[in-house]
Chain A
Amino acid sequence: MATAYVEDVLLVDRCLTGEPAATRELFRRHRARVHACLYRVLGSNRDMDDLLQEAFLQVFQSLRSWRAEASLSTWIDRVSVRVAYRYLSQRGRRIQTDPLIDDDTVPGGDLTDDRRQLARDGVKRLYAALDELGAAARLAFTLHEIDGRSIAEVADLVGSSVTATKLRVWRARNRIETAAAADPVLREFLQGAAA
């Protein structure tokens, strides 16, 4: 861990000197995690490339403010979450959830075609239900339930208290469950998740 920390500090120093190779290296090291985080929060999204680029531009823009108190990964996650939040908060914006045509998005290669189709539809409807939530609630729910972070970690990322984050997750879960009560596909998908 200490080695990774020192490597991060050295890499950031190189980035701050404007070395293009360092910019590429930092991007390559962290792109998968940032992309995963944005994907889980926003779902399959036409603006994903732009968002990824925006997140990294923000990272490079404010790299001087990284004080090496938190790990670089955590700090970059925080920036990514802010980018996602801004995207979600933009007035009148509805997330354009692409149809999930890629089989890779649904795990379990041994599923039958019916089950696979059901899972695809379930994911699609889950994100449609998430579109109805507020930005903060969606962020808290997706980071906790889908990205698998602890409540404390989510609270730290979104800059909120643990109590408030818990409340947001709880409210979002209620909304999703209400949506699932009226939608058998989503209900079956969630029941599969709970099993």
Chain B
Amino acid sequence: MKLRDRIQVPPLDDERLTNIERRLVVGVSELAHQRAPVARRGFGFAVAGLVACAAAALIGWKLHAVPATRIPAPVAQHFAVADGSKISVDGATLGGTASYEVTRDPQRVVVDMKRGSLDLAVVHDPHRTLVIRAADTEIEDVGTRFRVDFDGATGVQVRVTEGEVKVTRHALVVRVAAGNGWTTDRGLLALAELDPVVVAITPAQPAPSAPAPVAPAPIAKPPIHREHHVEVAPVVAEHAAIPADPYVELRTAIRKVPLDFAPAIDGRADAATEIAKLKKVAYSPTTLGPEASLALYQIAVLLYRPLGQDAEALRTLDMFQRRFHGGKELRAAMWLRVRIECSHSFDEACRRSAYSYQHDFTYGEASDVAVRITNAQ
């Protein structure tokens, strides 16, 4: 059908246009007046705020007159564990074969790893967080079970089996949820993508064939916060006790589907520079169409990985879908949304994005995975 040229639009006559224009100007000025009460309400809020501040100041002044009881600030405590003992510190249980130092202060407990593997089960206390420090990487718990492997130089590997941790390195923050891992080299990954756990287990002591020589009297250890001392169990057995993430397979399937049109960059330091360059292209008024569409999509990819700024990446994808709904990257963008939404948990948002994907794109590997996500319990 070629109907475009068959139906012509009759022009509106001047009188009708003038009437519309006049009514419009009046309507717009009325709109401006309707906004005025909002301003008056704002003024009311400001007055109420001032009164509240004055009252608070008065109460503060009254309280100031009463001598407050001085609570001595807790002193930072420090102790070192070099033999892989299992210890409990402020609700966190630390086991494994690592040597580390623990420093406790009122705000946080810092575990400074020297090398080895550390298994942690942490009850999150928002007022006193637990931070694992390995070389230039900091791992902060957000209520979780996780494991940290550190080679003693720069290589750090984090595996999260419950809850979530926050990994900070070179001012970049990545949140690692259950079923995921993080390594210095590869960034955020699914647990299944990580190398199998390789831990040097302390060789078992040979059974003495002869009576053992009388050992010298043990040196009394200082009464540190070690609550009990156990033999280092094989780490594999320790891991078997931790409940497995039921979605590991699905997470792996999600990550196996590649992100199309992903930009090639070297290392993390380049991501921010690349985003700045892409922003110039995407937001320039002179750039339209495919170039801007690709740039905006690639910004979202870089924000997601390697930068780990999921919320910002989702906002960029919203913008992409508003501006370039027919762009050739639409399919990839919708899949990227699925990956981001489902990277933490298989919740409503994750399922919604997967459903939208499978609804719009019926065929392909990604669509199959999207169907699995939608049906996941």
Residue of B286, B319, B322 with highest tally of chain A CB at under 10 A: B322
Which residues of chain B in 321-363 are interfacial with respect to chain A, using CB atoms and an 8 Å cutoff? Answer: 322-327, 330, 359-361
Name the prevailing secondary structure of the A interface residues: helix
Q: How large is the interface on A (under 10, 10 to 19, 20 to 34, 35 or more residues)?
A: 35 or more
B141 CB → nearest A CB, Å: 39
> Are A152 and B31 neighbours in the complex by a CB distance under 8 Å?
no
A35 within 8 A of B: yes
Select A40's contact among B7, B12, B330, beta carbons within 8 Å: B7
A10 within 8 A of B: no
Which residues of chain B in 28-45 are interfacial with respect to chain A, using CB atoms and an 8 Å cutoff? Answer: 28-29, 31-32
Q: Give the interface segment out of B13-21, B162-170, B206-214.
A: B13-21
A110 CB → nearest B CB, Å: 15
Residue of B2, B327, B360 with highest tally of chain A CB at under 10 A: B2
> Are B7 and A123 neighbours in the complex by a CB distance under 8 Å?
yes
Residues of A within 8 A of B3 (CB): 126, 145-146, 193
Total A-B residue pairs with C-beta atoms closer than 8 Å? 125
A49 CB → nearest B CB, Å: 6
A182 within 8 A of B: no
Closest to B328 in A: A152
> Are B29 and A20 neighbours in the complex by a CB distance under 8 Å?
yes
Residues of B within 8 A of A151 (CB): 326
> Are A119 and B285 neighbours in the complex by a CB distance under 8 Å?
no
* Known contacts A49-B16, A53-B24: A60-B326 contact under CB 8 Å: no
Q: How large is the interface on B (under 10, 10 to 19, 20 to 34, 35 or more residues)?
A: 35 or more
A119 CB → nearest B CB, Å: 7
A49-B16, A151-B326, A162-B330 are known contacts; what are 8 more A-B pairs with Cβ within 8 Å?
A23-B25, A27-B20, A39-B10, A53-B23, A69-B323, A104-B8, A105-B9, A105-B10
Residues of B within 8 A of A (CB): 1-12, 16-17, 19-21, 23-25, 27-29, 31-32, 283, 285-286, 288, 319, 322-327, 330, 359-361
Q: What are 21 A-B pairs at a CB distance below 8 A? A: A23-B25, A24-B21, A31-B12, A39-B9, A48-B12, A49-B20, A53-B23, A57-B27, A57-B31, A61-B31, A69-B283, A107-B8, A123-B7, A145-B1, A150-B326, A152-B327, A155-B325, A155-B326, A156-B326, A162-B326, A193-B1
Residues of A within 8 A of B (CB): 1-2, 5-6, 18, 20, 23-24, 27-28, 31-32, 35-36, 39-40, 44, 48-49, 52-53, 56-57, 60-61, 68-70, 102, 104-107, 119, 122-123, 126, 145-148, 150-153, 155-156, 159-164, 173, 176, 189-190, 192-194
